[in-house]
Amino acid sequence: MTKDKVLAILMRQKTYISGEEISRRIGVSRAAVNTAVKALRSEGYEIDSVTNKGYLFVSGPDLLSEGTVGALVGDERMDRVLVLDTTDSTNKLLREMAFHGAVQGQVVIANEQTMGRGRMGRSFFSPKDKGIYFSYLLKPDTAPKDAVTLTAWTAVSVVRAISKVSGFTPGIKWVNDLVSNGRKLCGILTEMSIESETGRIDSIIIGIGININNESSDFSDDIKDIATSIFLESGKKISRAELACAIIQEMDKLASSWPDGRDEYLEAYRKYDITSGRDVNIISGGNIRPAKAISINDDFSLKIQNSEGKTEDLSSGEVSLRII
Ligand code: BTN
């Protein structure tokens, strides 16, 4: 649709662009561009216009829909992107789609989850219109033990996407929480299906949940002291469609670079790492013990010094930790 194409150009453009340039880029008349701008304004988009300069996107109603994501991602990539208003869990739905033949790179995005899943059997708070609940399908032909680094790579990808769209760069708390000022704004849950005959990976679903435009009062009592959002940390309300597009692009890059591009992702992970050098509590199998986090090893495991002064390497999946 012309309207979606005009919106996509305006959303990407940071300076004024003339109606003539827009009509040239998408191959429609100036009148069609004017009509599209009028229609967008009636839907709540604020688009400034100045004589001899053209149009400037100011703000939008922050819709996360097939239309807004598709306008940015492009028709071809949208063949493997499903955007829903609500679902129980995007990871659960994508797993069912993988079972029925969905291919690598299939994405499911929801505006709300009614049963969002977190790590270690916890739930993930997924209120309507505030965040992005996003799942990505990988079908690598490898053994399960090789896939443990994917969660850390994803953390790097999401930091890059957030930084590109908002200008704000969160830190990574080992292994895969994105945090700012000690509070969490994004969690990642990687779930794997194994082929029983071969022991090889059938599919991997990487689930990403991000608090984006939440205000403090949007968080329930049990998480209000530990959760934050991109808005609360950066003071900016960003477009969720734009962030969804940036995550798709980063995840596509991850899918084509993994595992050979390890050095680049490791270097980035170490740059964003906020755990090394901190006192932590290690939580595993119901036990909690204090330790000092030392550094990120080459395989993304965490080197710690335990209370007896001995070093240990912790791998993801087995433990989680709390920074003291
Ligand atoms: C965690 O921090 O414990 C991981 C949270 C992962 C949440 C995301 S939201 C999209 C995807 N679907 C789910 O049900 N969970 C993941």
CATH of the domain at 127: 3.30.930.10
Q: Which residues line ligand 1 (CB under 6 A)?
A: 89-91, 113, 116-119, 122, 124, 133-135, 187-189, 207-209
Residues 293 and 190 in one domain: no
- Going from the Cα of 147 to the center of ligand 1, the distance in angstroms, rounded, reads 18
Which backbone phi and psi does 257 adopt, to 5 degrees? -95, -20
Of the residues 10, 27, 59, the one at which a domain ends: 59
Return the SS3 of 83: strand
Measured CA to CA, the distance from residue 165 to residue 162 in angstroms comes to: 5
Q: Which atom of ligand 1 approaches the CA of 187 most closely?
A: 2
Query: 203 by DSSP, 3-state: which?
Result: strand
Ligand 1 centroid–CA 187 distance in Å is 6
Residues 143 and 178 in one domain: yes
Indicate whether 8 and 128 sit together in one domain.
no
Pocket test for ligand 1, best of 90, 109, 124 (most atoms within 8 A of CB): 124
Confidence at residue 1, expressed as pLDDT on a 0 to 100 scale: 80
Q: What are phi and psi of 223, to 5 degrees?
A: -120, 0
Position in ligand 1 atom list of the atom nearest CA 177 = 2
Same domain, 189 and 122: yes
Distance in Å, CA 130 to ligand 1 centroid: 15
- Same domain (yes/no): 152, 263: yes
CB atoms inside a 10 Å sphere around CB 213: 18
On whether both 267 and 283 belong to a single domain, the answer is no
> Could you please report the per-residue DSSP string of 148-181?
GGHHHHHHHHHHHHHHHHHS---EEETTTEEEET
| Claim to verify: residue 84 and residue 148 sit in the same structural domain | yes
Token pair, residue 6, equals 């005009």
Q: Cis peptide before 83, with omega less than 30 degrees from 0? A: no
User: Facing residues of 273 across strands?
Assistant: 172
Could you list the residue range(s) of the whole structural domain that residue 131 is in? Answer: 66-272
pLDDT for residue 106? 98
Paired tokens of 91: 């990871």
153 and 233 fall within a common domain: yes
Residues 88 and 110 occupy one common structural domain: yes
Check residue 123 and report its DSSP letter. Answer: B
Which amino acid residue places its CA nearest to atom 16 of ligand 1? 207
- Please report the pLDDT score of residue 7 as a whole number: 87
54 and 78 in one domain?
Answer: no
* 118 Cα–ligand 1 center, Å: 5
Q: What is the pLDDT of residue 317?
A: 64
Same domain for 315 and 243, yes or no, is: no
Report the alpha-carbon distance of residue 217 to residue 315 in Å, rounded: 35
Does 110 share its domain with 256? yes
| pTM score, whole prediction | 0.90
CATH of the domain at 54: 1.10.10.10
pLDDT at site 318: 61
**Nearest residue CA, atom 9 of ligand 1?**
209
Which of 26, 41, 59 is where one domain is finished? 59
| Domain final position from 16, 40, 59 | 59
Distance 31 CA to ligand 1 centre (A): 45
Spell out the per-residue pLDDT of the chain, length 324, in tens: 888 889 889 987 889 999 999 999 999 999 999 999 999 999 889 999 999 999 999 988 899 999 889 888 988 999 999 999 999 999 999 999 999 999 999 999 999 999 999 998 899 999 999 999 999 999 998 888 888 899 999 999 999 999 999 999 999 999 989 999 999 999 999 999 998 888 889 999 999 999 999 999 999 999 999 999 999 999 998 999 999 999 999 999 999 999 999 999 999 999 999 999 999 999 887 889 999 999 999 999 999 999 999 999 998 766 677 887
Q: Which two tokens stand for residue 3?
A: 């309207």
DSSP 253-302: HHHHHTTTTHHHHHHHHHHHB--TTSEEEEEETTEEEEEEEEEE-TTS-E
Q: Which two tokens stand for residue 305?
A: 């010094």
Number of domains in the chain: 3
**Residue 185 structure tokens:** 């704004």
